[in-house]
Amino acid sequence: MDVVLDPAGLYEIVADIEIDDPVLIVALDGFVDAGAATRLGVAALRAGQDARTVARFDVDQLIDYRSRRPALRFDTDHWGGYTAPELEIVVMADTAGNEYLLLSGPEPDTQWERFCAAVEQLVRHFDVRLVINLSAIPLAVPHTRPIGVTAHGTRPELTEGHEAWFSTAEVPGSAIALMEYRLGEAGHDAMGFAVHVPHYLARAEYPQAARVLLDHVGLAAELYLPTEPLAEAARQAEEEIAEQVAASDEVRQIVDALERQYDSVSSGRGDRGVFGLGGELPSADELGAEVEQFLAERIDPEDPPRP
């Protein structure tokens, strides 16, 4: 690794903690977040909690504002407000009162190596025993089958018991993936879960995936994470999806085809490469304009555009 600027210049520690061997959950936005699963998961974790900030990053050094412009509020004849992006570590508590750390906010656009080195310093400072990162990827899988998760970690023991969905693949890099890699090089335990989202639902909110993601994180971290609100939202979403699939013969045929493909692979008769790591569609003709309409009906028009 090339020499980087002092990582300590990227953050400030604003409070110390009294947690024995805490877990650090990392959820950054700005990369692939199929079904908004990571965003929904963070919202569920933070709901109703008065989180206490213990470390804060200097986002001015890390964010390219022109690539994802933060919103300013204009009131009639003047600028009335601005909410700056925040990238910080906060203390959270699970439903049983067990405390853990959460790093959330925008994925850095620049200085990835320096950011990763800064996280490693904070892991050492707070004596973190395990880092777990969250992500969600679009795959050619049907919503009618169990939601899959790809687990990865810096030691084989961390992912023991999780089925490997893929072998070797070249995928676009991310700060969160590089962070896990660098933490492993430094001798820290770090792992991540990438939940699989049907790619015809990747642009919509898919709370089912967020719930599965938090279930896996909770088990790995030995935490009781709140998933009941996500379970209720998932039930409502399932009903809406079922209604829209039933209303379109073309969409139903595509879902049927994905079910046959999934069942073939699950039974050992097919190649898992058909699932399309990285979100490759089966074919443009197969999905067609009808699926685009299906997606459009599932997206909230008031949602802000995501990078």
What pLDDT digit, counting tens, does each position of 67-85 carry? 889 999 999 999 999 999 9
**Tally of CB atoms within 10 A around 289:** 8
Query: Helices (H) and strands (E) in the chain — how many of each?
Result: 7, 10
Structural contact between residues 144 and 242, judged by C-beta atoms closer than 8 angstroms: no
Q: CA torsion, points 154, 160, 166, 169, in degrees to nearest 10?
A: 10
Comparing 124 with 304, the larger pLDDT belongs to 124
What does the pLDDT look like over 236-287, one tens digit per residue?
999 999 998 889 888 888 899 889 888 887 776 555 555 554 334 333 334 4
Check residue 1 and give its pLDDT. Answer: 53
Task: Tell me whether residue 288 is exposed, middle or buried, using C-beta atoms within 10 angstroms of its C-beta: 0 to 12, 13 to 18, 19 or more.
Answer: middle
Rounded Cα distance, 20 and 77, in Å: 52
| Per-residue confidence band for 125, with pLDDT thresholds at 50, 70 and 90 | very high
Mean pLDDT score, 139-149: 92
Res. 105: pLDDT tops 90: yes
Most confident of 124-128, 227-231, 272-276: 124-128
- In Å, how far from its chain's centre is CA 90? 17
Check residue 285 and give its pLDDT. Answer: 38
In DSSP terms, which residues pair with 130 in a beta bridge?
A: 23
Check residue 250 and give its pLDDT. Answer: 85
pTM (2 decimals)? 0.86
Res. 299: pLDDT tops 50: no
| Per-residue confidence band for 297, with pLDDT thresholds at 50, 70 and 90 | low
Q: What is the DSSP letter of 147?
A: P
**Considering only CA atoms, which of 184, 185, 193, 182 is closest in space to residue 151?**
193
Mean pLDDT score, 92-109: 96
**Tally of CB atoms within 10 A around 118:** 24
Where helices occur in the chain by DSSP H, the ranges are 37-46, 112-125, 175-185, 207-221, 228-246, 249-266, 284-298
The overall longest dimension of the chain from CA atoms, in Å, is: 65
Domain architecture of the chain: domains with CATH: 7-298 (3.40.50.10900)
